[in-house]
Structure formats: structure tokens, C-alpha cells
Structure 1
Amino acid sequence: REEEDLQAIAVQEQRVFSLTVLSAATRNFHLGNKLGEGGFGPVYKVLTPGL
């Protein structure tokens, strides 16, 4: 039951962003905004409020 609840939450919170929006939100993927590397690639800090 707990696993089903977690999956339901994950599905509800997924959003899709265009490359243009992501580029602007990370200042063109600037290294100063890079938080690290994850299993799926680099992780960046988002600078745009409300994104």
C-alpha cells in the first residue's frame, strides 16, 4: 500500500519543461548552478521562481 501511495504522488508531481525554459532557469546550464551528478546525469539549481 505504501509503495502505491508513493507512486501515485510521483506521477502527480511530474512536469515537463522545454529546453528553452530549462536553459533560462539554469542560466544556460552554468557550472555555478550545477549541484552534482545523479544516476540520470547532471543536477542543476533552478533560478526562476515559480518554475
Structure 2
Amino acid sequence: MKLSFHGQSTIYFEGNGKKVIVDPFISGNDKCDLDEQTLEVDYIILTHG
């Protein structure tokens, strides 16, 4: 399993052939190096709004 933290509350997991992002804050987040245009995930989990 791969787990990476991308600032604020954004966490990205890869494991068992699945990709998951939790609380994505990508655009405008200087600590996030993910590209929202090319990011492919199986699940998006939002814990707060």
C-alpha cells in the first residue's frame, strides 16, 4: 500500500489495485503536487464540507 499526504487534509492511497483520495484540496494548495486534470482515482472520500 502506498500512502501520501498532500497538505491540509488531502491523503492519497494506492493499494489492492484501487486508488483513493480523501478530502481532495488540490487547486490552490501549494503542498499538493497532484494534477487534477490527470489524476485517476476509484474513490473520492469527503469527511467534511
Task: Name the TM tier (shorter chain).
Answer: under 0.3
The structure in which a higher percent of residues are helix is: 1
Which has the higher relative contact order, 1 or 2, with Cα contacts under 8 A spaced 6 or more apart?
A: 2
Q: Which structure's CA Rg is the greater one? A: 1
**TM-score, L = length of structure 1:** 0.26
The structure in which a higher percent of residues are strand is: 2
**TM-score, L = length of structure 2:** 0.26
